[in-house]
Chains A and B, each alone.
Chain A
C-alpha cells in the first residue's frame, strides 16, 4: 500500500490494497457494539453487509452523494485505524474514490479529520486516524462518519464490502494509569 502525502493538503492517495486483513496485535476492533447506519441503501444490500465478514456481500447506496456510513459508540472511544475492503476489479464504477472521515459527538458537530483518495483499490485499504503529533495518536470520539464523496469513473452509487474500525487495546487491569509490561507485574496482576 503506497501512500503519498502532499504537503499542505490533508489528502493522501492510497493505491492497491491487501487481500488479507493485517493489523497490529495491539489494536482491537472497536465497533462491535456500535450502532451502524447508512444514508441510503438498495434493498438486499444494506448496512449489515458491511459487518458480516463476507467479501461477497456489499453495501450499495441508493441516493445522492455523499454517501455516509455512521458509526455511533455508547461512550467516547479512542480510535486509531479504519480499514475498508473495496475492489475496483469487481465494482468498477461503484468503487469509492474520495473518502472523508469525520468525527464528533453527534450529527450536529462532526468535523472532518481525514480525507483520502483511493486509486483503483483491490482489497483492504487502511486509513490511519492518527495525527502527526505523537500526542494525537488516537481520535477520542463518540461518533465516526465515513463519507464517500465520489466514485471511480464518476459512478453515482457506491459499493463497500467491509468496514472495520480499530482502537488500542484497553488496559486489562482497571483503574491503572499505565499498562504493565514486565512479567512480575503481569503475573501478580490477575487471578485466574
Chain B
C-alpha cells in the first residue's frame, strides 16, 4: 500500500496537482509514519507554497535531507536562525552540510542576509568547488564583489571536476544511457560489482533516470564530493547496491558507515544513484548548447536544486542555459538542450522538475526498500511509467529541442517504448558506449564551461562596475545567447552605469522583445526611461509590468518612477513603499524610496531608506550617493565627502559621483583636491558636461577668471543651450568689469529660459551692472 500511495503522490506532483498530492501524502504519513514519508509531504507542501506546513512537520528531524528541506522552509518563512541551525547544527560542528553544494549555497544565502559576508563568500566558494556549475553561487559571489575570475572558476579544474564525477559514476554504477531525448535506455556500462542484481540496478537506474529527467533545476551535484574520491563513490555505490539495508539506514539519516564517509547521507544517496544517470544526461545535455529559460530564480532554483543532489549534469545544463537564455520569472521555460529526458520534462516548469525529482528521490528510497517485496514488477512498472510519461510529454508539449538529432531520436524512440524497455534491459555491457561517452562528457563539460566562462566573466565585471569590459565580454557570446532577455538586460544595465541611456534603452527594448514576460532588470529599464524623460514609454512599461505580475517589486518600481517623473512624489513614494512591502530584500526599491523622500524634503526618512538599502546590499552605490547628496544639502560636507568616496570605491568609473565629490571638496575649501577630482571626472566621461561646469565654478571661487572662462567657452561647444553656462560667464565678465560682454551673456542666458529664481537673479545682476556703468567707462 505504501508503494502505491507514494507512486500516487509522485504522480500528482509530476502533474502539478498539489492538492491531490498533499491529501494522499497525508494519508501516507498517517498510515506509514516515517521520516522519508515526511520528507515527501514536506516536498509537496513546499511545492505548493506552504512553507509553514513543511516547517512544522519537519521540525526537529535529523536526517540530512529533512534538515535541508526544513532549512528551505525556514528560509522561505524568513526564519534565518532556524534555517542556519538546521543546516549546521551548533552541537555538531563537524557535521556535513546536507546536500553538498546546494546546502552550502543555501547556507551562504543565510549568512549573506544575516550580514556575515565573509562566511557567505566562503560558503558560496565551497558550493562552487563542489559543483562548478552552480551558477547561482557564482552570481552571489559577484554581487558580494568577491568573485574569482570566471576563467579560473569555470576553468580547467572545474572541467576536470565535472569529468571526474561523471567518470566515477560511469565506473561505479550502471550507466543509464538516456536515449536521445528522454528515453531511458539502461546502458550497460556494467563495471559494477556483480553482486548487485541487475534488476536492482535497473531499478535504481530507472529511478535515477526518472530523477535525472525530472530534475532540471539542478540539484546539488553532491556527486562531486565523490568525484574527488572516486573510490569512495564507488564504495558508496557498492554499499548502496549490495545491501538494501545500509541504504535504508542511509535513508533514515544515520551517519553512513566509514566506507561512505564522504558520502552525504540521503543527499549523497540520491546523488550517487543519480550520478549514474548523470553522465548520461550530461552527455546528452552537454552536447547541446543548453538553452533553457529560467523560470523563477531564487526559490525554485533552490528548492529544486537542493532537493536533488544528482542534478549535477542537469543543473549544469540548466544553469548554463540560465546564463544565456532569457530569464523570465513567469514564463514557461523552453528547455532547449539538456538533451535528455530532463529537458522534455523540465519544460513545463522548474517546479515540476524539482517536485518530480524530489518525489523520485524519496521514491527511490521507498522503492528500494520495498524492492524485496515486488522487485521485478515494480522495476518495470517504474520504467514503463517513466517512459510513458516522457513520451506523452514529448508529444504533447513539443517544445523546441535545440539539438535536432536528439529530436529525431526522440521521435523515433517515443513510438516504441515497449521495445525501449526491453532494449534498456538488454543494454548491459556495451562498453563501447562507455568510452565514447567519456569523451562526450569531456567535450560537453568544456562547452558548458566555456559558455559559463563568458557569462560569468561578464556578470562579474558588470558587478564590479567595469562596464566597458563587461560589454566587451558579453559581445563574445554567440548571437543566439546574446539575444536573450538575461544577457540584454545585463548589457542594458552596463550602459546604464556608463550613463549612456540611449544605448541602454535600446538593449532593454531588445530584452523586452525577447521575452515580454520577464521582470528581471525592468526596474533599471524604468529608471532609464525616467532619465530620458520618455513618459509615454515609461507609463506603458509600468502598465505592462503590473498586468504581468502585480506582486513583483519591479512593476511597482516602474509605476513609482512614472509618478516621480510627473513630479507627483507622494504617489511615487507610495508605489515604492509597496515594492518594499512585496520584497523587503529588493535593494533598489529602498533606494528609490529614499530619492522620493529627498524630493519631498523629508531628509530623516530619506536617510533611513538609504540605510535600509545599504543594510541589504552594501555595494549598492546609489544608496551611498543618495546619503551623500542629503548631507550635501544639509551642508554636512565632511559626511558627504566620505559617502561620495564610498560610492566611488564601489563604482570607480562614474563621472557623476566624481564631480559631486569635487563639489563637496570645494565646499570644504580643499580646492586643489577638488580640481584634481574634476579633472579625473572630465577624463572619465567626455560626454558629461558637469565636471567642466563645476571646474569653472571652482576656478571662479579661486579668482582664476581666465581659466574659468576658457573652460566655459569649451563647455559652450558641448551644451550650447544651457543657460547656466551663459549666466556664469556673465557673472565672470561682470567681475572682470567687461560689462558689454556681461550684458551679452546675461541676455543669452535669459533667452534660454532659465527658472524663475534665476531670471530674478540674472535680471538683478543686469540692473546692478548698469549702475557702475554710469560711473565708469564701459570696457
> Given the complex, which residues of B lie within 8 Å of A176, measured CB to CB?
724
Contact partner of B767 (CB less than 8 A), chosen from A135, A179, A188, is A135
> Given the complex, which residues of B lie within 8 Å of A188, measured CB to CB?
499, 655-656, 687-690
Considering the chains assembled together, what is the distance between the CA atoms of A192 and B724 in angstroms? 23
> Given the complex, which residues of A lie within 8 Å of B757, measured CB to CB?
78, 138, 168-169, 171, 179
**Interface residues in B685-703 (C-beta closer than 8 Å to A):** 687-690, 693, 697
What is the minimal beta-carbon distance from A172 to any residue of chain B, in angstroms? 8
**Interface residues in B266-305 (C-beta closer than 8 Å to A):** none
Are B724 and A177 interface neighbours, CB within 8 A? yes
Considering the chains assembled together, what is the distance between the CA atoms of A180 and B763 in angstroms? 17
Are B760 and A192 interface neighbours, CB within 8 A? no
CB of B585 within 8 A of chain A? no
CB of B669 within 8 A of chain A? no
CB of B718 within 8 A of chain A? yes
Are A134 and B759 interface neighbours, CB within 8 A? yes
Are B632 and A174 interface neighbours, CB within 8 A? yes
> Given the complex, which residues of B lie within 8 Å of A181, measured CB to CB?
721-724, 752-755
Are B632 and A179 interface neighbours, CB within 8 A? no
Are A169 and B755 interface neighbours, CB within 8 A? yes
CB of B308 within 8 A of chain A? no
Contact partner of B722 (CB less than 8 A), chosen from A26, A27, A78, A182, is A182
> Given the complex, which residues of B lie within 8 Å of A138, measured CB to CB?
757, 760
B416-424, B465-473, B525-533, B610-618: which one contacts chain A? B525-533
Considering the chains assembled together, what is the distance between the CA atoms of A180 and B761 in angstroms? 14
**Interface residues in B646-670 (C-beta closer than 8 Å to A):** 654-657, 663, 667
**Interface residues in B586-635 (C-beta closer than 8 Å to A):** 592, 595, 601, 622, 625, 629, 632-633
Contact partner of B755 (CB less than 8 A), chosen from A168, A182, A185, is A168
What is the minimal beta-carbon distance from B600 to any residue of chain A, in angstroms? 9
Q: How many of chain B's residues have a CB under 8 angstroms from any CB in A? A: 50
Are A178 and B727 interface neighbours, CB within 8 A? yes
Considering the chains assembled together, what is the distance between the CA atoms of A138 and B687 in angstroms? 36
**Interface residues in A88-141 (C-beta closer than 8 Å to B):** 133-135, 137-138
Considering the chains assembled together, what is the distance between the CA atoms of A27 and B755 in angstroms? 10
Considering the chains assembled together, what is the distance between the CA atoms of A181 and B763 in angstroms? 17
CB of A184 within 8 A of chain B? yes
What is the minimal beta-carbon distance from B657 to any residue of chain A, in angstroms? 7
User: Given the interface contacts A184-B722, A187-B499, does A192 sit within 8 Å of B592 by beta carbon?
Assistant: yes
User: Given the interface contacts A188-B499, A191-B657, A192-B531, does A174 sit within 8 Å of B633 by beta carbon?
Assistant: yes
Q: How many of chain A's residues have a CB under 8 angstroms from any CB in B? A: 32
CB of B259 within 8 A of chain A? no
CB of A6 within 8 A of chain B? no
> Given the complex, which residues of B lie within 8 Å of A187, measured CB to CB?
499, 501, 531-532
Are B764 and A134 interface neighbours, CB within 8 A? yes
> Given the complex, which residues of B lie within 8 Å of A180, measured CB to CB?
722, 724
Considering the chains assembled together, what is the distance between the CA atoms of A26 and B763 in angstroms? 18
CB of A189 within 8 A of chain B? yes
Contact partner of A175 (CB less than 8 A), chosen from B663, B722, B749, is B663
What is the minimal beta-carbon distance from B43 to any residue of chain A, in angstroms? 42
CB of B758 within 8 A of chain A? yes
Considering the chains assembled together, what is the distance between the CA atoms of A183 and B688 in angstroms? 11
Considering the chains assembled together, what is the distance between the CA atoms of A183 and B629 in angstroms? 21
Interface centre among B592, B667, B764 (most CB of A within 10 A): B764
Are B667 and A192 interface neighbours, CB within 8 A? no
User: Given the interface contacts A26-B756, A135-B760, A137-B756, does A177 sit within 8 Å of B690 by beta carbon?
Assistant: no
Are B755 and A134 interface neighbours, CB within 8 A? no
> Given the complex, which residues of A lie within 8 Å of B759, measured CB to CB?
134, 137
- B630 nearest in chain A by CB position: A174
> Given the complex, which residues of B lie within 8 Å of A178, measured CB to CB?
723-724, 727-728, 749, 754, 758, 761
Considering the chains assembled together, what is the distance between the CA atoms of A97 and B663 in angstroms? 51
CB of B719 within 8 A of chain A? yes
Considering the chains assembled together, what is the distance between the CA atoms of A189 and B728 in angstroms? 17
CB of B731 within 8 A of chain A? yes
Considering the chains assembled together, what is the distance between the CA atoms of A8 and B633 in angstroms? 43
> Given the complex, which residues of A lie within 8 Å of B755, measured CB to CB?
26, 168-169, 171, 179, 181
> Given the complex, which residues of A lie within 8 Å of B719, measured CB to CB?
182, 184-185
Are A179 and B758 interface neighbours, CB within 8 A? yes
Considering the chains assembled together, what is the distance between the CA atoms of A189 and B659 in angstroms? 9
> Given the complex, which residues of A lie within 8 Å of B718, measured CB to CB?
184
User: Given the interface contacts A180-B722, A192-B622, does A185 sit within 8 Å of B767 by beta carbon?
Assistant: no
What is the minimal beta-carbon distance from B745 to any residue of chain A, in angstroms? 12
Considering the chains assembled together, what is the distance between the CA atoms of A136 and B663 in angstroms? 30
> Given the complex, which residues of A lie within 8 Å of B723, measured CB to CB?
178, 181-182
What is the minimal beta-carbon distance from B579 to any residue of chain A, in angstroms? 14
Are A134 and B722 interface neighbours, CB within 8 A? no
**Interface residues in B728-758 (C-beta closer than 8 Å to A):** 728, 731, 749, 752-758
What is the minimal beta-carbon distance from B152 to any residue of chain A, in angstroms? 33
- B731 nearest in chain A by CB position: A177
Contact partner of A135 (CB less than 8 A), chosen from B533, B629, B763, is B763
> Given the complex, which residues of B lie within 8 Å of A189, measured CB to CB?
656, 690
Are A175 and B728 interface neighbours, CB within 8 A? no
- B602 nearest in chain A by CB position: A33
What is the minimal beta-carbon distance from B587 to any residue of chain A, in angstroms? 13
Are A134 and B629 interface neighbours, CB within 8 A? no
Are A137 and B760 interface neighbours, CB within 8 A? yes
- A175 nearest in chain B by CB position: B663
Interface centre among A80, A134, A181, A189 (most CB of B within 10 A): A181
Are A192 and B656 interface neighbours, CB within 8 A? no
What is the minimal beta-carbon distance from B628 to any residue of chain A, in angstroms? 10
User: Given the interface contacts A134-B764, A175-B632, does A192 sit within 8 Å of B758 by beta carbon?
Assistant: no
**Interface residues in A142-183 (C-beta closer than 8 Å to B):** 168-169, 171, 174-183
> Given the complex, which residues of A lie within 8 Å of B764, measured CB to CB?
134-135
> Given the complex, which residues of B lie within 8 Å of A183, measured CB to CB?
533
Contact string, B491-527, partner A, CB cutoff 8 A, digits 1/0?
Answer: 0000000010100000000000000000000000001
Are B728 and A191 interface neighbours, CB within 8 A? no
Interface centre among B499, B629, B689 (most CB of A within 10 A): B689
> Given the complex, which residues of A lie within 8 Å of B722, measured CB to CB?
180-182, 184-185
Are A134 and B767 interface neighbours, CB within 8 A? yes
> Given the complex, which residues of A lie within 8 Å of B655, measured CB to CB?
188
> Given the complex, which residues of A lie within 8 Å of B532, measured CB to CB?
187
Contact partner of A191 (CB less than 8 A), chosen from B625, B721, B731, B761, is B625
> Given the complex, which residues of B lie within 8 Å of A80, measured CB to CB?
756
What is the minimal beta-carbon distance from B500 to any residue of chain A, in angstroms? 10
Considering the chains assembled together, what is the distance between the CA atoms of A50 and B763 in angstroms? 35
Considering the chains assembled together, what is the distance between the CA atoms of A154 and B100 in angstroms? 89
What is the minimal beta-carbon distance from B340 to any residue of chain A, in angstroms? 45
Considering the chains assembled together, what is the distance between the CA atoms of A180 and B633 in angstroms? 17
> Given the complex, which residues of B lie within 8 Å of A27, measured CB to CB?
756
> Given the complex, which residues of B lie within 8 Å of A184, measured CB to CB?
687, 689, 718-719, 722
> Given the complex, which residues of B lie within 8 Å of A137, measured CB to CB?
756, 759-760
> Given the complex, which residues of A lie within 8 Å of B656, measured CB to CB?
188-191
Considering the chains assembled together, what is the distance between the CA atoms of A135 and B601 in angstroms? 27
Considering the chains assembled together, what is the distance between the CA atoms of A133 and B731 in angstroms? 20
> Given the complex, which residues of A lie within 8 Å of B527, measured CB to CB?
192
> Given the complex, which residues of A lie within 8 Å of B749, measured CB to CB?
178
Considering the chains assembled together, what is the distance between the CA atoms of A24 and B759 in angstroms? 15
**Interface residues in A66-91 (C-beta closer than 8 Å to B):** 78, 80
What is the minimal beta-carbon distance from B333 to any residue of chain A, in angstroms? 32
Considering the chains assembled together, what is the distance between the CA atoms of A171 and B767 in angstroms? 23
What is the minimal beta-carbon distance from A32 to any residue of chain B, in angstroms? 9
> Given the complex, which residues of B lie within 8 Å of A26, measured CB to CB?
755-756
> Given the complex, which residues of B lie within 8 Å of A169, measured CB to CB?
755-757
The 7 A-B pairs with the shortest beta carbon distances in the complex, nearest first, are A178-B724, A134-B763, A135-B764, A137-B760, A182-B722, A179-B755, A174-B633
Give 8 A-B contacts (CB < 8 Å), ordered by A residue.
A24-B756, A78-B757, A134-B760, A175-B663, A184-B719, A185-B693, A189-B690, A190-B656
Give 6 A-B pairs besides A174-B633, A182-B723, A189-B690 with Cβ atoms closer than 8 angstroms. Answer: A80-B756, A138-B760, A168-B756, A178-B727, A184-B718, A192-B622
